[in-house]
Amino acid sequence: MISSVQGQRIVIDPGHGGPDAGAIGPAGTREKDVTLAISHRLRDYLEARGAEVRLTRATDRSVARPDAPPNEELQARCDVANALNADVFVSIHANASQSSRASGMEVYHARRAGTAARRLARVEHDRLAGSLPVPARGVKAADFYVLTETHMPSVLVEVAFLTNPDEERLLANPEMQEAAAHALGAGLEEYFISGRSCPVAPGAYRSLQTA
Ligand SMILES: [Zn+2]
């Protein structure tokens, strides 16, 4: 059985890294570690199904130079996907709030996103909603840098709130990281199945053109 992600170029962006820890939970869990762990598991899921996966960072580091201003760092992440002419871009984050009671998962696309990115956000949201024991906050539109400066359908996932003690425990739990990764992987499979308008996968066309 050939997976719909076979031959697809998928860039996964583990939020933050290096000197930028991202959000930090009350027990000390760092967003940059959670996003990297989920990203590694998602990469494994997709590579096992034949996808061409690239992480913007595979270790605890910056993508641009360590002391780069925020927009240069974010542009470096977009550059990875744009240079590769990726089919999709998925940025993974954990949420933060002033209130320790804020909870749940949400998925973003850019405000002016096309139908493909909106559909990707919807399938990722719905798959996560079916697998994580946290409230589903919905698909939302926001112009995060990595969503507006990538040239392919792109989404940003906030898996849960690191500032909520219960959700911090979930985010730090390897089983939950695996569940999130599987949900995101299954969402990508669904996205590429339903987006196919002809019997030949886009990846197959590309290899014909470059042969
Ligand atoms: Zn973040």
69 Cβ contact list (under 8 Å, min separation 6)? none
Q: Does the pLDDT value for residue 8 go beyond 90?
A: yes
d(CA 161, CA 29): 11
pLDDT tens digits for range 16-60 = 999 999 999 999 999 999 999 999 999 999 999 999 999 999 999
- Looking at the structure of the chain, the number of domains it has is 1
CA of 23 to the centre of ligand 1 (A): 7
Domain span holding position 63: 9-210
CA of 4 to the centre of ligand 1 (A): 29
Pair 5, 188: CB distance under 8 Å: yes
Q: What is the CATH number of the domain that holds 116?
A: 3.40.630.40
CA of 1 to the centre of ligand 1 (A): 36
pLDDT of residue 3: 93
CA of 91 to the centre of ligand 1 (A): 9
CA of 36 to the centre of ligand 1 (A): 11
CA of 197 to the centre of ligand 1 (A): 34
Longest dimension (CA), the chain: 55
Reported pTM: 0.91
pLDDT > 90: percent of the chain: 89
Q: Does the pLDDT value for residue 109 go beyond 70?
A: yes
Residue 168, Cα to own-chain centre: how many angstroms? 18
pLDDT tens digits for range 163-207 = 999 999 999 999 999 999 999 999 999 999 976 654 455 555 444
115 to each of 85, 119, 121, 197, 210, how far by Cα in Å? 18, 6, 10, 14, 28
Lowest mean pLDDT among 3-7, 63-67, 119-123: 63-67
CA of 158 to the centre of ligand 1 (A): 8
CA of 3 to the centre of ligand 1 (A): 30
Q: Does residue 1 lie within any of the structural domains?
A: no
Q: How much is the average pLDDT of 113-131?
A: 97
CA of 21 to the centre of ligand 1 (A): 9
CA of 131 to the centre of ligand 1 (A): 21
CA of 186 to the centre of ligand 1 (A): 23
CA of 95 to the centre of ligand 1 (A): 6
Average confidence score pLDDT of the chain: 93
pLDDT of residue 197: 52
Q: How much is the average pLDDT of 96-114?
A: 98
Closest CA to 8 of 41, 52, 42: 52
**Can you give the C-alpha Rg of the chain in angstroms?**
16
- Output b/e per residue, 8-47; b: 16+ Cβ within 10 A: bbbbbbbbbbbeeebbebeeebbbbbbbbbbbbbbbebbe
pLDDT class for 125, splitting at 50, 70, 90? Answer: very high
Q: Does residue 2 lie within any of the structural domains?
A: no
Q: Does the pLDDT value for residue 61 go beyond 70?
A: yes
pLDDT > 70: percent of the chain: 92
Q: Does residue 25 lie within any of the structural domains?
A: yes
